[in-house]
Chain A
């Protein structure tokens, strides 16, 4: 198993955000996570990426326990992530943003990293903007940059946090095509998303979280039909 979360617990005061959570992602697999706001989805990502330490439980990546490994170490071992609100290095150019990921996340020299960074930019449709300041990008471009920068670190699993939120229908389907393409290169995907139809176009398996608990898991279309999932999602999306 590439990524394995076992018995994860976390609470902020009296608010429980992870309650004995188990989750796994196999190499090359695409797993989706849905759940209402406050279900603990982003917190789960923060614990996997190392920004936040769990109250109890284990996170293993490629068989190795990640307890005590700082965020930079997790990135270098192959965990890439994007943020719900893009966090570009605004005064660096788009290309330099990728270079940071390539040089530090993959431990290569700038010169060796150039070719792969260029190819990623081309693949994500950002080549035209390569030498523009990241602070000048539109929302869609910023979301693409989040992905491109994470890809520059050559991840084996990519954590996507609501990457489709706030985009138009057309932008969203472009993004889905990009993510499918990334998947084809063998990168495993763990994707939190409210835009369910985007998610369903990519993932193999769907996990539903509520109050830090896994309430359903399985084949995406079947899970979406479950009454308890329906109940949570009434009024959000069918």
Chain B
């Protein structure tokens, strides 16, 4: 030790992107480009399927940030999906706002609702937080069921005037020689793709920032993180509000696409939280890659097994249990452990200057 101290100090530097992650970024750009151009050649069924995949993936990324990093196991994210959906309906049907503009507004309003909600549910910990968040979502559902201008308990539909007022539909119709519903799907597809890409980018930037460092610490050991100067409450609050905003926007988009809303569907714990938890858990919680893999698997199962009805759900549950038992880190956890790969690298490597290679 003592002779170490006598040695002249070396210069250190930080390195963030690895060669593999640069290759992954290039691959992601190509995949994105293909996805952008896909509706020009793909059929309407595939476009609709991919819209579903995109928003489930975006929801899963949000829930992963909440539960996988900030340790907030929320079972109530349907509160913000439903809120976003209802805000879209209220803004467009009652307020006459353009649907595409209504999506970001829904995000801002969701964040405003999330703040007081957090002040209540953050008083609860662990399992109590999970149950509390669910109860809050039920309160949201019951409140919207009372709101008569939007159909109360039975819900309402978007008028064709609203659904066809999305900008771009007319030009796509003309360009690709399609009918209105198909053109509407393509616009929704691009909005969904943009929202999913933005969500991935947002989560990635958060994890790369100094907040991400704290989130990794909170994920691994909350008490130790606060002992090292991390304001755990503040970071959790920020994550909760930010994910509520994104979840609200996704909710608005989902119901723009569905064009029909009801409290039971919009605030469904099964559709907007249980499936999302399934995606994150089978893919691998606490990683960015996990939800991507999970969403693709979930989509494939839904696509090819949904015809089996109840058996489909039984199979889904069995798969989730098997993975939790035998691969608790999820499928991505298995892969990354065996092959030491990361696609979204958030590693900060210490490099000693003047020496070659690793520190």
Contacts and interface: CB of A to CB of B under 8 A. Distances in A.
**Are these two chains actual partners, yes or no?**
yes
A11 B37 CA distance: 68
B342 to A, nearest CB: 12
B216 A89 contact: yes
B24 to A, nearest CB: 19
* Interface size class of chain B, counting residues whose CB lies under 8 Å from the partner chain: 35 or more
A90 B219 CA distance: 10
A190 interface: no
Contacts of B2: 177, 181
B229 A106 contact: yes
Contacts of A106: 229
Contacts, number: 136
A110 to B, nearest CB: 6
Shortest 3 CB-CB contacts between residues of A and residues of B: A118-B12, A105-B229, A104-B229
Contact of A70 (B4, B210, B226): B226
Interface in B195-250: 210, 213-214, 216-217, 219-221, 223-232
A96 B14 contact: no
A123 interface: yes
B11 interface: yes
B210 A89 contact: no
A115 B12 contact: yes
Contact of B225 (A89, A127, A130): A89
B11 A127 contact: no
B83 to A, nearest CB: 32
Interface stretch (A31-39, A71-79, A202-210): A71-79
A16 interface: no
Tell me whether chain B's interface is mostly helix, strand or loop, or mixed.
Answer: mixed
A89 B223 contact: no
A121 B349 CA distance: 13
Interface of B: 1-2, 4-5, 9-14, 210, 213-214, 216-217, 219-221, 223-232, 286, 347-350, 352, 358-359
Given A88-B221, A101-B229, A122-B10, 6 more contacts: A72-B227, A81-B227, A93-B347, A95-B359, A106-B229, A127-B352
A119 interface: yes
Contact of A121 (B228, B229, B232, B350): B350
Interface residues of A, number: 52
A104 to B, nearest CB: 4
Contact of A72 (B213, B220, B232, B349): B232
Contacts of A97: 217
Contacts of A89: 216-217, 219-221, 224-225
A75 B229 contact: yes
Contacts of B9: 119, 122
Given A71-B227, A72-B232, A114-B13, A95 B348 contact: yes
